A and B are shown apart, each in its own frame.
Chain A
Amino acid sequence: MANLTTKLGRLQMKNPVMTASGTFGYGTEYSDFMDLSRIGGIIVKGTTLRERQGNQYPRMAETASGMLNAVGLQNKGVNYFIEHIYPTIKDLDTNVIVNVSGSEIDDYVKTAEIINELDKIPGIELNISCPNVKEGGMAFGVSCAAAAKVVSAVRKVYDKELIVKLSPNVTDIAEIAKAVEDAGADSISLINTLLGMAINSKTRKPMLSTITGGLSGPAVKPIALRMVWQVTHAVKVPVVGLGGIMNATDAIEFMLAGATAIQVGTANFIDPAISEKIVEGINDYLDTNNFSSVTEIIGALEI
């Protein structure tokens, strides 16, 4: 049994496996299928200052080795989260991280300020990369100046682990990563979904109500791996890799590329117990290859 513990910035993690925001609800949806305390962390559904109804149905389309979604950050707002959801998840024996999104910088700041007061939430993941909202979201994540502005504003009011989630829909992701690192991010997660589109030729209509949406699943993995590799070479802060991880082998590849931790997203829909299995799979890999600690494989890519 290898040592699976790792550190992500200020976060102590029992293993590097987390679940990606928007794919794991608030964790409790999955408690029939697995032991939530077996994974390193849960990033709960994107939370905004005020309630959002999200986009109209249809919000998803299956594509080759992946899916498009256009949920549009449906959630009941941060106050509802504190009153009704926080009490049900605060005692989970894992890192419960809240994904925070907004339309304006002030929304991000106020939401982060409120969550900063919650004892059992050791960090937030700042979502500057949601492709499915008309205002804010990805708009903050596609320019260095806007990304830096929102991150430094949140940094001023938030004193726990600040993870910033990047969009792959940019020309140079390393530049954006450097900008958010300089603005005070403790760690960086990537990638959010890739902007995509699906069409029904029979009806000659788009498959999504929003026409375009975010692509996830194994189809995006090579792009995600490449971007994680680029970003880990550009910044000093730890990186959380995600994008199409379906099994332990995929997770290990992200760590070899330089990720300190990983997130499992779309795979949760296909096998709701997959994140726990990935923890076991990483352990088996370490034992088989004579590594005593999972930290030994971070960035261990041989070139």
Chain B
Amino acid sequence: MKKFILDLQITHKVQLNKQNVLLKLTSKDLLPEILPGQFAEIRVDKSPTTFLRRPISINFVDIAQNELWLLVQIVGEGTKRMAEMNPGDLLNAIIPLGNTFTIPTDKNAKVVLIGGGVGVAPLYMFGEKLNRMGYKCVFLLGARSQSDLLLLNEFEKIGEVYTTTEDGSHGEKGYVTQHSLLYNPDFNYIYTCGPTPMMKAVASYAAKNEIFCEVSLENMMGCGIGACLCCVTDTTEGNLCVCTEGPVFNINKLKWQI
């Protein structure tokens, strides 16, 4: 897919909680085709402390509005500056980058999308596409606490939603992999994105039960286009760039100790 460097303008900013904002951005030209799972490399500003671009998952593309959504969690200086931006401000982005999730071959397949924290971002776009295509999606979303569960209302519009929180303030108490939904392992497809320990636990569950499973990795990146070779992950084919060969990987390809 051809990649573009675009100046995107913020149209809406939704403060989801203290740590997360949803930015909706538009382009003066028609946005290029973007697939679920792909990401943007965002230039934050020209300050010396935020030197490199920031890879941010694409949360959704609203074709009718020509809008792209980015779910931004404040983890450092770069994301903090992004979260401080306001409607009207411009963000320079390279899009679309990376690969996409594999669509199940069987329309009646039982699909679960398991997200943790800000990792729900790409799962929303993928779930929305699956829902539109006629798949029945189940979402299992985990967070530390109720206020950390992001975009619940949006997820409820496109599928069945289950939650876990570490403090028990919403849904079942504990981690996503402890949810009663998974007691009976009858899912055919699992897609997951979130903190690495969570994804490893999900991958381990999938491997044990021989369920197809794709994870979306979030390694630190230099360039986002396969030039610097900084974001590699160890795979059955050697070290591969997460930015070009991923971010979505089948767990069979990863050399995770699960």
Q: Which residues of A contact B (CB under 8 A)?
A: 22-25, 29-30, 32-33, 45, 53-54, 56-67, 69, 71, 74, 217-218, 268-273
Chain A: interface secondary structure? Answer: loop
Which chain B residues lie closer than 8 Å to A64 at the CB level? Answer: 48-49, 51
Q: Is B168 an interface residue (CB 8 A)?
A: no
- Which one of A25, A65, A271 lies within 8 Å of B5 (CB-CB)? A271
Contact B51 A30 (CB under 8 A): no
Question: Do A62 and B51 contact each other (CB < 8 Å), given the known contacts A32-B4, A269-B227, A273-B5?
Answer: yes
Contact A74 B229 (CB under 8 A): yes
Which chain B residues lie closer than 8 Å to A67 at the CB level? Answer: 51-52, 222
Which chain A residues lie closer than 8 Å to B21 at the CB level? Answer: none
A-B contact pairs, 15 of them (CB 8 A): A22-B229, A23-B228, A25-B227, A33-B5, A45-B229, A59-B231, A60-B230, A62-B50, A66-B51, A67-B52, A69-B230, A71-B230, A74-B232, A268-B223, A270-B51
- Chain A, residue nearest B230 (CB): A60
- Chain B, residue nearest A57 (CB): B232
- Chain B, residue nearest A71 (CB): B229
Contact B53 A60 (CB under 8 A): no
Q: With both chains docked as a complex, state the minimum distance between the C-beta of B116 and any C-beta of chain A, in angstroms.
A: 20
Which chain A residues lie closer than 8 Å to B94 at the CB level? Answer: 272
Interface string of B13-56 (1 = CB under 8 A from A): 00000000000000000000000000000010000111111000
Q: Which residues of B contact A (CB under 8 A)?
A: 2-5, 43, 48-53, 94, 219-220, 222-223, 225-234, 238-239
Contact B227 A32 (CB under 8 A): no
Question: Do A30 and B227 contact each other (CB < 8 Å), given the known contacts A59-B232, A270-B43, A273-B5?
Answer: yes
Contact B227 A53 (CB under 8 A): no
Q: How far is the CA of A251 from the CA of B3 in the complex (A)?
A: 27
Contact B231 A29 (CB under 8 A): no
Which chain A residues lie closer than 8 Å to B225 at the CB level? Answer: 25, 29-30, 272
Contact B219 A69 (CB under 8 A): no
Contact B239 A60 (CB under 8 A): no
Contact B228 A57 (CB under 8 A): no
- Chain A, residue nearest B52 (CB): A62
Contact A59 B230 (CB under 8 A): yes
Q: What 10 additional pairs, Cβ within 8 angstroms, besides A57-B233, A71-B228, A270-B53?
A: A22-B228, A23-B223, A29-B226, A29-B227, A54-B232, A58-B219, A60-B222, A65-B51, A269-B223, A270-B52
Q: With both chains docked as a complex, state the minimum distance between the C-beta of A192 and any C-beta of chain B, in angstroms.
A: 15
Number of A-B residue pairs with CB-CB distance less than 8 Å in the complex they form: 88
Which chain B residues lie closer than 8 Å to A54 at the CB level? Answer: 229, 232, 239
Which chain B residues lie closer than 8 Å to A32 at the CB level? Answer: 2-4
Contact A57 B5 (CB under 8 A): no
Q: With both chains docked as a complex, state the minimum distance between the C-beta of A216 and any C-beta of chain B, in angstroms.
A: 10
Contact B52 A74 (CB under 8 A): no
Q: How far is the CA of A53 from the CA of B236 in the complex (A)?
A: 12
Contact A74 B227 (CB under 8 A): no
Q: How far is the CA of A30 from the CA of B234 in the complex (A)?
A: 25
Which chain B residues lie closer than 8 Å to A23 at the CB level? Answer: 223, 227-228
Closest 10 CB pairs of A and B: A25-B227, A60-B230, A65-B48, A269-B223, A32-B3, A59-B230, A29-B227, A71-B229, A269-B222, A29-B225
- Which one of A33, A53, A58 lies within 8 Å of B220 (CB-CB)? A58
Q: How far is the CA of A6 from the CA of B227 in the complex (A)?
A: 27
- Chain B, residue nearest A273 (CB): B5
- Which one of B3, B52, B219 lies within 8 Å of A33 (CB-CB)? B3
Which chain B residues lie closer than 8 Å to A62 at the CB level? Answer: 50-52
- Chain A, residue nearest B225 (CB): A29
- Chain A, residue nearest B50 (CB): A62
Which chain B residues lie closer than 8 Å to A66 at the CB level? Answer: 51
Question: Do A53 and B238 contact each other (CB < 8 Å), given the known contacts A29-B226, A67-B222, A270-B53?
Answer: yes
- Which one of A24, A57, A217 lies within 8 Å of B219 (CB-CB)? A57
Q: How far is the CA of A218 from the CA of B2 in the complex (A)?
A: 30
Contact A69 B233 (CB under 8 A): no
Q: With both chains docked as a complex, state the minimum distance between the C-beta of B202 and any C-beta of chain A, in angstroms.
A: 20
Question: Do A60 and B2 contact each other (CB < 8 Å), given the known contacts A25-B226, A30-B227, A74-B229?
Answer: no
Q: With both chains docked as a complex, state the minimum distance between the C-beta of A213 and any C-beta of chain B, in angstroms.
A: 10
Contact B52 A269 (CB under 8 A): yes
Q: With both chains docked as a complex, state the minimum distance between the C-beta of A276 and any C-beta of chain B, in angstroms.
A: 12
